Each structure stands twice: as C-alpha cells, then as structure tokens.
Amino acid sequence: MLPATMCVLSLAAQLWTFAGLWVLLLMPYLTRFHWIKRHFQRGDVNAAKVIATDPYLVAAFADLSTSGEYFFPVIRILEQPLDRLGASGFETGYNMPTVSLYYGSAAGYKWDSFNPIVAQCATTDEAEIRRLLEMIPEWQWALLNEGLFQLPQPYRPGLYQISVGPLGEA
C-alpha cells in the first residue's frame, strides 16, 4: 500500500474514533433530552406548589383513575432542583404547573403512581409556562390545597392518597 493511502486511512480511522467518542459522550444527554421531550408531548398538566425550600419540595396533585368512572386523588411530594434554575421567587406557596406521566397497569381502575416534572425545570419560556398554568382547572388547585392539610408534617417525599367530599369538600 502506498504511504499516502496509509496516511489517509490512518487519519480516517482517527476521525472515526474521535467522532465515536463524541457520540458516546453525548448519548446520555441526547437520550435525556428525547425522554423529556416525549414526557412533555404526552404528559398531563397538573397543579403543583412549592411546600418547602430547604430542600425544595414540590407537591403535585393528580387523579390516578384510569377512567371517568372512578376518582382517585393523590398528592405526590418530591424534591425538585429549583435552586439550580438560577431564578428566584420559588418561595413556599408558589404555584407552578407540572407535566405528568402515569405508570402501572391501565387495566385496573387506577394507575400505580405518576411522575410529575415541574415545567420550569424543562423550559425558561415564560409564555409556555403561563399557557400551562392556564390549562389547570380551579378544582385541581382547590384539591391540592385541601389535600395538603391531610398530609403528615414535616412533609416528606412520597405518594399520598387524599380524601375529598363531593365537589372537593373535604
């Protein structure tokens, strides 16, 4: 083989290896981006609020029923990295939208749980955040606020079933 051909092949192999390393390094970020995009495309918008700031705890409301025949209201409390967003104003009581996916078997009357992601953790687009907030019906905010009084304090991450009366009367 000619020396020039060997040089070109060697250079091509080095570039391919370099490109392959970049793909391997970027793959976790590309996969996470794709996962979050799918979450927000397919998810359900729910009411949530900051209930603690050290660490940041967010309480999100959802109905885990799989059909309109049942009503299974729950609140999920989870830590959210709001301190990493660089924005201030996430004080206790701050209302925010979450986008949730449900998991478990849809064959029964309810899902096992749900995975809410705070909209501000996925976008800085204030118009989009306002649009999501406007999608949340008032009854969700009312049930979230009523349900928080039923939860043990201090608040801890977890999934909590709440009791509500007719039309949200506790």
pLDDT confidence tier of residue 39, bands split at 50, 70 and 90: very low
CA distances from 164 to 64, 142, 161 (A): 14, 10, 10
Indicate the average pLDDT of the chain: 79
CA atoms in the 13 A half-sphere facing the CB of 82: 25
**Higher-confidence position of 68 and 6:** 68
**Higher-confidence position of 118 and 38:** 118
Gyration radius of the chain's alpha carbons: 23
What are the sequence ranges of the domains in the chain? 1-41, 43-168
Query: What residue type is assigned to position 103 of the chain?
Result: Y
* Mean per-residue pLDDT, 63-84: 88
pTM for the whole thing? 0.74
Q: What angle do CA 165, 167, 170 make, to 5 degrees?
A: 30
Summarize pLDDT for 74-120 with one digit per residue, the tens: 999 999 888 776 666 788 899 999 988 888 887 778 889 898 988 88
Summarize pLDDT for 125-150 with one digit per residue, the tens: 889 889 999 999 999 999 999 999 99
Please name the fold of domain 43-168.
2.40.410
| Range picked from 6-10, 32-36, 153-157 for highest mean pLDDT | 153-157
